[in-house]
Structure 1
């Protein structure tokens, strides 16, 4: 009887120990991921710190060209994380928006700096309009091509989403 009690206590202790170590490990893993994401995150506030200069364009006449701020330029060609809402562009491509589709850039509620073009690493995944996601990708800014987004994420991968 005494040995059975010892065995039950040992088994209970082992079970308790392993359950706490798994939780600790997952807490540590998500903390490490959060630190990496926080260090490489680009915010909508930062992207919104932009100016525009009116210039002549051979095809469109006078156009407002973006002047990206230096803090944003430092992120160029680097891996960044950003969270936002998925908005469809056409039946093949999506962008990430600061706002939901009903209040996005296309509806006149925001500027072009509130949207990031997405170029997925392994083909375009199936996404839903207004799905809130965090995306990792290589950040690229554009000050010259009026037919492209001001901000883009190349090799984009969804790292967190609904």
Structure 2
């Protein structure tokens, strides 16, 4: 009786441990030759790095009482005009333009749930690119920051190409 119980316990433990392991390929993003080439040529940006930003209040023509201007960190300044890779959620701006967001639409910058550093303006290389709201994508393109026009995004990705959906 004890031997049967011990065997059953060992088998049950084995099944339990095997069920805790996650399949290796089920959630892995698709990798293509283009993705591998892009990863070796471009810097991968993170939302944490984009969030390392400070603001300074300055007067402007449109806002005489002052407005908060971004002070972009030196690490990002060095990436200006360089090819980067960035992942995030798609937020439609209008029928033709999109933004890339750290958060889904329900908690994005527009809803007051995050700051302006959690979103990037996108200019696609192919103007006909169609994406869905909250679709998680990885883009490659040219990084540009804006620290002087308060009516524009702080961060941009230009000549963007979708490398992973």
| Pairwise CA distance, 1:147 | 1.5
Q: Is the 8 A contact 1:93 1:124 kept in 2?
A: no
Aligned with 1:60 (options 44, 60, 63) = 63
Q: Counterpart of 2:75?
A: 71
Question: What stretches of structure 2 of length at least 5 have no aligned partner?
Answer: 1-29
Q: Is the 8 A contact 2:88 2:137 kept in 1?
A: yes
CA distance in 2, matches of 1:140, 1:111: 18
Question: What stretches of structure 1 of length at least 5 have no aligned partner?
Answer: 1-25
**Residues 104, 56 of structure 1: alpha-carbon distance in 2 compared, 3 angstrom cutoff:** same
Q: Counterpart of 1:132?
A: 136
**Residues 46, 83 of structure 1: alpha-carbon distance in 2 compared, 3 angstrom cutoff:** same
Tell me the alpha carbon deviations over residues 69-108 of structure 1, each in whole angstroms, 9 at most, x when there is no partner: 0011111100000000000112221000000000100001
- Runs of 4+ in structure 1 off by over 6 angstroms are none
Q: Is the 8 A contact 1:103 1:109 kept in 2?
A: yes
Q: CA RMSD in A?
A: 2.2
| Larger fraction in helix | 1
Q: Is the 8 A contact 2:35 2:163 kept in 1?
A: no
State which drifts further: 109-118 or 124-133. Answer: 124-133
| Pairwise CA distance, 1:35 | 4.8
Secondary structure of residue in 1 paired with 2:59: strand
Q: Is the 8 A contact 2:89 2:136 kept in 1?
A: yes
Aligned with 2:50 (options 29, 47, 50) = 47
Secondary structure of residue in 2 paired with 1:58: coil
Q: Tell me the matched-pair count.
A: 135
Q: TM-score, normalised by structure 2?
A: 0.75
| Pairwise CA distance, 1:28 | 9.3
